[in-house]
Amino acid sequence: MGGAADNVPPFIAAQLSHLISHFRLTLKVEQMWSSDKYNYALFDRFTLLIPYCLDFIKWDIIYNADSPSTAPDFIFGPDDQDFHPFNMPSSVEPAQPNNCLKDWNHKDPSRLLALVQYLRDQYVLYQRKRVEAVDDDRLKFEISTIVSREGIEMHLSSSSDKPEEVKFAVPLMDMNINKMVPGCPWKYSQKIYLQVVYPVGRKYLSAPSAPRLKLVSSSELKALFSIDDVKLPSWLDGMCLAEYLPNLEEYLEKQVLEAISLIDVRRHFIEALASQLGRPVEADPVFCRKATFLCASGVFTFLVHFIIPTQFPKQQPSLMLQSSQHFNSLMVPMKSRLISDYPWSPRWELPLMAERIGEFLADEALNFKRQCSEGQAQ
């Protein structure tokens, strides 16, 4: 809520805080404003960004600060004018939508959470029915083959400036990545999704073209495994999504397991560096992606920062030197460029890698000291 927090009525602040903290997905508050255009002292309405189908939907939530006992109104997006969540079958059993509103209690901080969760579940059902109603034989067939998979979300997008298309968000792999990483710091369960986008057509072609495919994950997962490094299997002519997914999941599972095993390889590399440079002053204890050592060349002391890629040892680490004795005009410690042009081979044993880096630093320290002295003199 940022700087607006002091202007939010306590009962709204409590409900919003509970929602943000306990919702199963990461929510964002885009903006807050007041219902009173003449008095901006109280912010009682806000725009909520809710993850859906690997994108966000925006809902305005409208409270009335002068009437706390009244449940908030919701304004859905301009493309969802036909979304009437309380006039459609319930997505949950038993159906109890009225409990979210009829017995509204502004003193209960969990009420907004229950309401937003119910409305999002209804939105999932609403979009699925929209997609199922599309007059496209191929889409109808694709849906029939994957409808039994849990967690799939669908979205039909249509506008005057581009053709209709249907987007699927398909969760992949039934594996708990969080539990597989010792000391895992992630708050939310890490998932990998396949985004599948089909253009909406009117005829079933004998050999339809491949849909647009893209792997998507949270940014946090990049500390372990970058989906940008994954080359998707080819989509064969005549293939459907139900045929494509098993091979993709098997391939991805091997990639994730390898990425987890590489954590120990990076940890052993840091230990090998410690035998050459001394105990690190700082190191990433979970993913072993970073380490910093305090080194000396005569009376010149400096830090060496190592950035270790997830694909180590296939990919070479980068390092940066930082002086402990030289500062620029803003009193910021002077640093070297990011260095990767040092003796290196992915085929070397870890102790040899560390030894060659130690030899390189012995020479590079003299060059770095001279650069710092010249830069400080300017």
Considering only CA atoms, which of 49, 35, 47 is closest in space to residue 7? 35
Mean pLDDT for the stretch of residues 222-227: 89
The answer on pLDDT for 246 being more than 50 is yes
Q: What pLDDT is attached to residue 276? A: 93
Q: Dihedral angle at the C-alpha atoms of 362, 366, 368, 372, nearest 10 degrees?
A: 150
Question: Across the chain, what does the average pLDDT equal?
Answer: 88
pLDDT tens for each residue of 323-346: 998 888 788 898 999 999 999 999
CA 225: distance to chain centroid? 12
CA angle centred on 48, ends 42 and 49, rounded to 5°: 150
253: three-class secondary structure by DSSP: helix
DSSP string over 287-329: T--EEEEEEEETTEEEEEEEE--TTTTTS--EEEEEEEEEE-T
When pLDDT is cut at 50, 70 and 90, the band that residue 66 belongs to is: confident
The answer on pLDDT for 254 being more than 90 is yes
| Alpha carbon distance 366, 299 (integer Å) | 11
Give me the percent of the chain exceeding a pLDDT of 70: 91
DSSP string over 221-242: GGGT--GGGPPPPP--TT--HH
The answer on pLDDT for 59 being more than 90 is yes
Please give the single-letter amino acid code of residue 95.
Answer: A
The answer on pLDDT for 61 being more than 50 is yes
Q: What pLDDT is attached to residue 40? A: 66
Q: What pLDDT is attached to residue 94? A: 46
pTM of the model: 0.80
Handedness of CA 360, 366, 369, 374 (dihedral sign): negative
pLDDT tens for each residue of 152-204: 999 998 766 777 899 999 999 888 899 999 888 888 888 999 999 988 875 55
| Alpha carbon distance 287, 333 (integer Å) | 27
Percent helix, percent strand, percent coil in the chain, to nearest 5: 35, 25, 40
Q: What pLDDT is attached to residue 214? A: 93
DSSP string over 90-145: -SSSS--THHHHTT--TT-TTHHHHHHHHHHHHHHHHHHHHHHTS--HHHHHHHHH
